[in-house]
A and B are shown apart, each in its own frame.
Chain A
Amino acid sequence: QKEVEQNSGPLSVPEGAIASLNCTYSDRVSQSFFWYRQYSGKSPELIMSIYSNGDKEDGRFTAQLNKASQYVSLLIRDSQPSDSATYLCAVNKGRDDKIIFGKGTRLHILP
């Protein structure tokens, strides 16, 4: 079982709709969870961090964490074409500074 799993996509969402990105992780002791956005040919950019169960909102982005189900998600409201990118889910287990990345989900917002 991979440590961090994501559907590779592509996920196509109409402009203005809600994009929902999902991620599961295998190690129950994981403590910190991150979503990064990576445009083609660019480096990853941190867009959300979440550490406790529940929802965390920042502008059009909402991260959701369910530690019991070992599941973390990212919702993007009012999707824009500029949101088209690969979204990487990442997890830190709390033992050291390393974070484990998923392979990413390609999101395509349809104008």
Chain B
Amino acid sequence: GAVVSQHPSRVICKSGTSVKIECRSLDFQATTMFWYRQFPKKSLMLMATSNEGSKATYEQGVEKDKFLINHASLTLSTLTVTSAHPEDSSFYICSASGGRLGSSYEQYFGPGTRLTVT
């Protein structure tokens, strides 16, 4: 099956610092990667869509200067939360898709990163 890894699984950082989260597709080439955020007992919220080699497309209300996304290769995307604040504490989850040539838009999720900003 399609495997997506995410690192780190858990991070605690101080307010004002930046945190980078990596997302890798391990056994397929991901034409598109997605970043989601999920607060406790709430729905998944799509933050942005990224395609390899191009700028990410952010959903309405998501600050692109705060959540920097880089999709450097077909197997790696990173999300950097800049100048983190306690309200950024959440569960960040990436997913990867092989697109039309893959499995008809199936998205495979990484295990998630739990960010706590103190």
Q: Cβ of B105: which chain A residues have Cβ within 8 Å of it? A: 32, 92, 94, 97, 99
| From B99, B104, B109, contact of A43 by CB (8 A) | B109
Q: Cβ of B106: which chain A residues have Cβ within 8 Å of it? A: 32, 34, 46, 49
Q: Cβ of B107: which chain A residues have Cβ within 8 Å of it? A: 34, 46, 90, 97, 99
Task: Answer whether A46 and B108 are a contact pair too, CB < 8 Å, given A88-B44, A104-B43.
Answer: yes
Task: Indicate whether A103 reaches chain B with its CB closer than 8 angstroms.
Answer: yes
A interface, over-half SS: loop
- Which of under 10, 10 to 19, 20 to 34, or 35 or more describes the interface residues of A? 20 to 34
Q: Cβ of B103: which chain A residues have Cβ within 8 Å of it? A: 49
Q: Cβ of A98: which chain B residues have Cβ within 8 Å of it? A: 34, 46, 49
- List CB contacts (< 8 Å) of A84-111 with chain B: 88, 90, 92, 94, 96-99, 101, 103-104
List residues of B whose CB falls within 8 A of some A CB.
31-32, 34, 43-44, 46, 49, 91, 93, 97, 99, 103-112
Q: Which 4 A-B pairs have the closest CB atoms?
A: A92-B105, A97-B32, A43-B112, A43-B109
What would 10 more interface pairs be, CB under 8 Å, given A94-B105, A97-B105? Answer: A34-B107, A43-B110, A43-B111, A44-B109, A46-B107, A49-B106, A96-B49, A97-B32, A98-B49, A99-B107
